[in-house]
Chain A
Amino acid sequence: MPQQLLTGNEAVAQAALDGAVSLGTGYPGTPSTEILERLGALGGRAQWAPNEKVALEVGLGVAFGKARALVTMKHVGLNVAADPLFSATYTGVDEGLVIAVADDPGMHSSQNEQDTRRYAEAAGAPMLEPGDAQEAYDYTLQGLAISARFQLPVILRMTTRVCHSKGPVQTRSERAQAPAPRYERDIPGRVMIPGNARPAHVRLRERLHNLARSELPEALLTDTGEDRQLGIIADGVAAAHAREAAPQARLLKLGLTHPLPIEAMRAFTQQVERCVVIEEGDPYLYTAARAAGIPVAGKPERFRFGELNAERVRRILDGDESPEPEPEAAGKPPQLCSDCSHRPVFQVLSRLGCIVAGDIGCYTLGVMPPFEAMDTCVCMGASVGVGLGLRHALPAEEARRVVSVIGDSTFVHTGLPGLAEMAYNPPETGHVLLILDNDTTAMTGLQEHPGTGRRLDHHPAASKLNYEAIALALGITDVHTVDPVDHKDDFERLMHDALADDRLTVIVARRPCSLASRRLAAFRAEQEPSEP
């Protein structure tokens, strides 16, 4: 195979295909989204799940059935999937299960910059960290092999600059043979009641120990450079920045970062006069090294924030505390498209003086001028619970101004349990849930979800969620549907009346995203010639 120029995400997808992954699943989230899209485009089986928890559970089931699975998500998605993760390491797997998790240091499109490496340690999952597209390819294959061999789910921890950076990738010429799926009953290993989970925890620690003692930690590190003065220990893309910032330094780049090759790190520091740990985010490597009594220096606290680059690494190495260069002017922030259906919605919410418990999606841009019509945005699905809490706490007059605003994809992701809470524990003033149904997962690049009625590849799905029917089934009787663009006045009247009323109301503001509509029309036009 000749080299290809691929992004890290594309390389993971290619490796999944070449590594005989039988199912890829996940939930869209920048910067991870393109992995599954690419896997599908390459002819692999790829599908969107309603959320990351479900995706990981599906992947785990695949691996229980002795087939290989890839599960993808952004870093905050792993919070949602943490529940299955912490028990999947106990049950273990029969075949390769790789969980690709994309961190976003610097928060280019995220609400926090949490560090997934903490999860690997906390859950006891082996973790591989590619630093470029070639390693993204190699480590995905390596992750599948490690997962099958040590019977543990493996985290492939990526970052924005690995996911979205292109580089040359040498791929394998032959695809791996897919394992033959079959069911083998293993009640003590799979049913996590306390009596089974206690030995399962011991087994997990033994498996990690076996991995740590295998040839892999050594095989997955690279030790380059001749300098005996300065040594650098680094992981992921930070190692590339470090190599550029200090071309002569001795550089130990770790590929497997859980369990850590701690003795190799110790031996490395003994061969240099001074050793500095270069890592983005939390001091994960640094803390582990110091806890093991390894004499390394870390980075000043200000480099915990944001991404690293070669220039910032040079500052860390030189102890340069001078201010970093700033742009002459701020860049232009993103905004709602000029014909976006969310625009009239936020105009109305602004005019009605609503307290808006918001959520995550394009419509979070309702916080920007001229609307400034969003008061909270915390995590996926939080609009419903936060809105209810505000209603419970505030004096009736203020409580009646509170509305929860959530997009269609986010509603399916984690808004559904919130709606059950709304029906179950209604505030005295009632509540209004506004579902902005634009028929797509817009912000991450127009992905399908169970509410669009289309699969990942845009072909019709087996079903399409009906939000109004769901609300009615939960016992909410005031359910309305309105097009906020063509019937803006009706929408405003509905909102006004619902806020004045002390009942529970669900309003579905339905208007397809114009970007998604155009793309869907183009997709259908493309399909036509092949359909009779």
Chain B
Amino acid sequence: MSRAADVVNVVIAGLGGQGIVTASDILAEAAFTAGHDVKKSEIHGMSQRGGSVSSDVRFGAQVHSPMVPHGEADFLLISEATQVAANRHRLHPEGRLITPEAVPQLFQEADPERAARAARMVNVALLGVLSAHLAIPEATWLEAIRSHLPERLHEMNGRAFHQARGIEAIFGSLTGDRPHPATQ
């Protein structure tokens, strides 16, 4: 299958209860608000009990199937290191794997309470990394984050997003990443 340059394929994966679906909702809404056609698909159900969860988000001028074909993901966001092996086949050979290691600065809290709090923001931080590669305005992202999280979490997550986005903008280029053609 030829790789459609006008559709961005993102797979977000992790474990049930980690906010994978919320993260994909934020991404889908940001892309939708930015004027793209969007399709998003995931599996609920049994996976809610701590099992593997993954959500596909696709956006561009026109999206047909809601599922990212295997080996076609431009970006694979994984919040939990143990889930990389189960999902790597989703990623295109030239696609970008984004894990918390992309932004280690955000997850170096020694204090257990603060570390636990940082862990809960991991998906939003991964979206921040992703956002550095996409032509969606930061304000649109922040609006989508606010509409999917309770108010008391807005400031904290907004900051995590902004920091991760900034770190990736500086250091992401060192890894040789190039923006996806559809996002320029």
Where the two chains meet, the residues of A that have a C-beta atom closer than 8 Å to any C-beta of B are: 5, 30-31, 108-109, 132, 160-161, 164-168, 237, 240-241, 243-245, 307, 309-311, 314, 324-337, 362, 365, 443-445
Contacts and interface: CB of A to CB of B under 8 A. Distances in A.
A28 to B, nearest CB: 11
B1 interface: yes
B87 A327 contact: yes
Given A241-B64, A329-B86, 16 more contacts: A30-B44, A109-B46, A161-B66, A164-B43, A165-B39, A165-B41, A240-B65, A244-B4, A311-B1, A331-B52, A331-B83, A332-B15, A332-B82, A334-B50, A365-B49, A443-B49
Interface string B15-45: 1100000000100110010000111111111
Nearest to B36: A168
Nearest to B25: A166
Given A132-B39, A160-B43, A328-B85, A335 B51 contact: yes
A335 to B, nearest CB: 5
A109 B69 CA distance: 21
B170 to A, nearest CB: 31
10 residue pairs, one from A and one from B, having the closest CB atoms: A109-B45, A331-B52, A334-B51, A334-B49, A329-B85, A30-B45, A165-B66, A165-B41, A311-B69, A166-B40
Contact of A314 (B1, B38, B64): B1
Nearest to B69: A311
B162 to A, nearest CB: 24
A164 B70 contact: no
Nearest to A167: B39
B47 interface: yes
B86 A328 contact: yes
A320 to B, nearest CB: 11
B51 A31 contact: no
Contacts of A443: 45-46, 49
Contacts of A109: 43-47
Contacts of A327: 85-89
Interface in B89-125: 89
Given A245-B1, A332-B15, A164 B67 contact: no
A237 B66 contact: yes
Contacts of A444: 45
Most chain A CB within 10 A, of B46, B52, B65, B82, is at: B65
Contact of A310 (B67, B83, B85): B67
A137 to B, nearest CB: 15
A310 B65 contact: yes
Contacts of A314: 1
B50 A335 contact: yes
A108 B71 CA distance: 21
B45 A108 contact: yes
B47 A334 contact: yes
A374 to B, nearest CB: 15
Contact of A325 (B48, B70, B82): B70
Contacts of B38: 5, 166-168
Contacts, number: 132
Number of contact residues on B: which range applies? 35 or more
A215 B72 CA distance: 40
A33 to B, nearest CB: 9
B69 A309 contact: yes
B32 A332 contact: no
A336 B166 CA distance: 39
A332 B83 contact: yes
A314 B72 CA distance: 14
A328 B49 contact: no
A167 B64 CA distance: 10
A439 B13 CA distance: 31
B39 A325 contact: no
Nearest to A324: B70
B64 A240 contact: yes
B42 A164 contact: yes
A427 B148 CA distance: 55
Most chain A CB within 10 A, of B41, B45, B51, B83, is at: B45
A356 B50 CA distance: 24
Contacts of A333: 46, 51-52
A444 B44 CA distance: 9
Contacts of B88: 327-328
Contacts of A330: 86
Nearest to B40: A166
Most chain A CB within 10 A, of B42, B66, B89, is at: B66
A331 B46 CA distance: 12
A244 B89 contact: no
Contacts of B1: 245, 310-311, 314
A337 B38 CA distance: 34
Nearest to A238: B65
A465 to B, nearest CB: 26
Nearest to B54: A331
B19 to A, nearest CB: 15
A167 B50 contact: no
B51 A332 contact: yes
14 contacts: A108-B43, A108-B45, A109-B46, A132-B66, A165-B66, A167-B40, A168-B37, A244-B64, A244-B69, A324-B70, A328-B88, A333-B51, A334-B47, A335-B51
A243 B49 CA distance: 35
Contacts of B29: 5
Interface string B132-159: 0000000000000000000000000000
Contacts of A328: 85-86, 88-89
A168 B89 CA distance: 28
A409 to B, nearest CB: 15
B53 to A, nearest CB: 9
A465 B29 CA distance: 42
Given A108-B43, A330-B86, A161 B48 contact: no
A331 B65 contact: no
B44 A31 contact: yes
A24 to B, nearest CB: 20
A132 B46 CA distance: 23
A158 B82 CA distance: 33
A327 B25 CA distance: 25
A330 to B, nearest CB: 6
Contacts of A165: 39-41, 66
A445 B21 CA distance: 14
Contacts of A108: 43, 45-47
